[in-house]
Amino acid sequence: MLDAVMLTNDHNSVCRLLALIIIYYYKCVQQLGLKFSKFLNLFYAASMSSASSLRLILCTLFLSSLFLRHSVADVGTAAHYGPPFLPTACYGRDASQFPSNNFFGAVGEGLWDNGAACGRQYQVRCISAEARGTCIPGQMIQIKIVDRAQSSVSRPSLAGTTLVLSSKAFQVIANASAPFINVEYQQ
């Protein structure tokens, strides 16, 4: 009898959790432009096809994978800088440090890590800016870290950013007239 009561309480907790998830999905479904009644019918059919709470939870997890965007990237800001680039904090006056495509950059203090950032590669994309239309949609670049933003010879367009991209790299993902942009970056 006690096991049945505990199962009922667990089942009620699962139902409350699922109700919250349905409310969240309702908002997601609206953003995707789907009809909520169709979504509820799918959800109800999946939950009623089995008396097992485990199947209901698995169905919920599957539905969550359809609506949630998973990202392992970080978000920060990026400025840009132009020549002169030498000497750098990472490689001094060695001109061979720069990639042939000139997609390189400097890191702010949060990523500097006492010089451990030197040589790291980051994928970077513009996600927003102060002025509408600054980001170039669908563009992502890969940069090599060659310097520390705080001590770079050439001053960035804005101090204190997470990344400072070479002008060439910056203009691939954003309008070059912008002093800084908000970026998503991943090593």
Question: Could you report the per-residue pLDDT of 18-35, keeping only the tens digit for each?
Answer: 666 666 666 555 555 555
**Domain limit, last residue, from 67, 90, 120:** 67
Together in a domain, 7 and 85: no
Together in a domain, 130 and 97: yes
**CA 91, CA 178: separation in Å to the nearest integer?**
29
Check whether 179 has a pLDDT greater than 60: yes
Together in a domain, 128 and 158: yes
Q: Residue 94 phi/psi, 5° resolution?
A: -75, 105
pTM greater than the 0.85 cutoff? no
Cβ neighbours for 111, distance < 8 A, ≥ 6 positions apart: 117, 145, 162, 163
Together in a domain, 63 and 143: no
Structure confidence at residue 72 (pLDDT)? 77
Together in a domain, 20 and 91: no
Above pLDDT 90, what percent of the chain?
61
Q: Which domain holds residue 113?
A: 74-186
Q: Nearest to residue 131, comparing CAs of 71, 77, 69, 175? A: 175
Q: Nearest to residue 173, comparing CAs of 130, 123, 118? A: 123
Together in a domain, 39 and 82: no
Together in a domain, 146 and 174: yes
Together in a domain, 159 and 123: yes
Together in a domain, 63 and 83: no
Q: What is the CATH number of the domain that holds 94?
A: 2.40.40.10
Could you give the number of structural domains in the chain?
Answer: 2
Together in a domain, 127 and 166: yes
The listed range with the strongest mean pLDDT (9-18, 29-38, 164-173) is 164-173
